[in-house]
Amino acid sequence: MKKVLFCNLLFLMVFCFVSCATVAKTENYENIRKNSSAAFAELEGKEPAASEENRTVETAFDEAGSGEEPLFAAVLKGTGTGEDEKSAKNDALSQLANSIVADIVSKTVITQEERDGKYTESLKNDILIRSNVFLKGVLFTKPAKKEGFVEVTAFMTQNSIVNTITYLLKTMPEDIETLSPEKYDDVLTMIYLSYSLLYAVSERQVPEREKYIAALSALKAEIEKLASHGSIYFQTASDAKGNVEIDGKSYELNKKIFLKPANYKFSVKLDGYRNINGAVNLFKGDKKFVEIPLVPELAGNHEIFLKVESQVEMTGEIEKALLDFGIVPTQKEELPHKVAVVVKTASVQVEGYERMTVSVDIETFKNGEKFKIAHYDHKPFFVTAQNKNEKVKDESRKVALAVVKKFLSSIDLKAFFDVPE
């Protein structure tokens, strides 16, 4: 009898301890959430100081539509291209998402960033997929028709950034401990997006910015304590048919997968493409992003004329990338299939440093007609006089190779080479 009473008493003590700890954690989160919301509520509705740098959104939109630069009201912007207006807008939104998270690496405001260097890609993907939920007030310029493609710029102003942060904090759930991993992941994305947006606004534009950063830091730290799962997103072409197997269980591609922290082996199997195997180590709160290159199982050798224009020698690397896709690069100009890769670098002086950018243009031709084109601007990087040459070579080769692989994964190679199904 005494043993039973002792066990019951011990159970009650443990239950009370866990319950009290849970209540304390929930109350702490709720207090911090309310404080953060109240802090940002002060900013809502405040107009920016009138200046040439802070014109109205309407003025910026009109200027953007007429092709004049710069967009004075834009704090963040991304320019996209595509075959039509819709695809150009989607690309512009992707580039805008990229600019939003660009400061994360340099400021390391997200704890998981250093684990595998892929966190920004995952956050960008989350923002892009749910842009209608997470981003408020994104504007687009009028589409500009270029030779063979359409160009559009997506941008956010100071007001839309502040309003977005305020909106995200207001919609934070009161009790996140009862949320499913999917809903909890949305909360993580909302807080990290708020953090990234706040870093995009200058101290002059938002006085006492550090106070708001501190409020978000406290909320972010409290939310991260409550993580129980991690997520991984395997991205491939939307029309590719297949799945990913993780430890013997099958999952859909292009959908977020939530798993308990552990080491996992995976295998991606796609109809008509080579299988891809790998491993991933998942932590609590992780957001892993894996982009799957589509390497078709092409029968026979398919020759293509390759032309590479670049100040940095990289023909060998690009030839190897083509071979990996079952394509044999040659210098026979009479071939019906051609690919041209143009890599350019540009620089500007910034406070004693030189800021470099790398752009890549790719064009494919079939029987003398353009099959598909792509333009890519890599995010800027800084160099000094001592490391400039090596840094430019390394970045140019790395960027060009990544763009070529992504481009080859995005086009229908079977249609390009007229390979029967």
- pLDDT category, 244, cuts 50, 70, 90? very high
In tens, the pLDDT along 349-395 reads 876 678 888 999 999 999 888 888 888 888 788 888 888 899 899 99
Average pLDDT over every residue of 84-97 = 87
Lowest mean pLDDT among 26-30, 231-235, 335-339, 363-367: 26-30
In tens, the pLDDT along 144-182 reads 888 888 999 988 888 888 888 888 888 888 777 778 888
In tens, the pLDDT along 178-207 reads 788 888 888 888 888 887 788 777 777 777
- pLDDT category, 246, cuts 50, 70, 90? very high
User: Can you give the pLDDT at residue 39?
Assistant: 61
Q: What is the CATH number of domain 230-291?
A: 2.60.40.1120
Is pLDDT of 398 > 80? yes
Among the ranges 58-62, 83-87, 112-116, 135-139, which has the highest mean pLDDT value?
83-87
> Which residues contact residue 300 at a Cβ distance below 8 angstroms, ignoring those fewer than 6 apart?
none
In tens, the pLDDT along 94-129 reads 888 877 776 554 454 454 444 444 666 777 778 777
Distance of alpha carbon 163 from alpha carbon 45, whole angstroms? 8
> Which residues contact residue 77 at a Cβ distance below 8 angstroms, ignoring those fewer than 6 apart?
71, 96, 99, 153, 154, 155, 156
User: Can you give the pLDDT at residue 421?
Assistant: 54
What stretch of H or E contains 185?
A: helix 181-200
Average pLDDT over every residue of 86-90 = 88
pTM higher than 0.85: no
Lowest mean pLDDT among 48-57, 215-224, 275-284: 48-57
Q: What is the CATH number of domain 27-227?
A: 3.10.28.20
- pLDDT category, 263, cuts 50, 70, 90? very high
- Beta pairing partners, 256: 233
User: Can you give the pLDDT at residue 58?
Assistant: 35
Is pLDDT of 247 > 80? yes
Whether 230-291 and 302-416 share one fold: the answer is: no
Average pLDDT over every residue of 302-310 = 92
What residue ranges in 283-380 does DSSP mark as E strands? 287-291, 302-310, 327-330, 337-350, 353-366, 369-377
End-to-end CA distance of the chain: 76
User: Can you give the pLDDT at residue 112?
Assistant: 45
In tens, the pLDDT along 18-64 reads 334 444 455 676 776 676 666 666 655 444 433 333 333 333 333 33
Q: Give the dihedral of Cα atoms 346, 349, 351, 353; nearest 10 deg.
A: 60
User: Can you give the pLDDT at residue 315?
Assistant: 92
Taking all residues of the chain, what is their mean pLDDT, rounded to a whole number? 76
Distance of alpha carbon 149 from alpha carbon 183, whole angstroms? 38
**Domain ranges within the chain, ordered by starting residue:** 27-227, 230-291, 302-416
> Which residues contact residue 291 at a Cβ distance below 8 angstroms, ignoring those fewer than 6 apart?
121, 235, 236, 406
CATH fold for the domain made of 302-416: Double Stranded RNA Binding Domain (3.30.160)
The dihedral through the CA atoms of 30, 121, 413, 302 has a sign that is negative
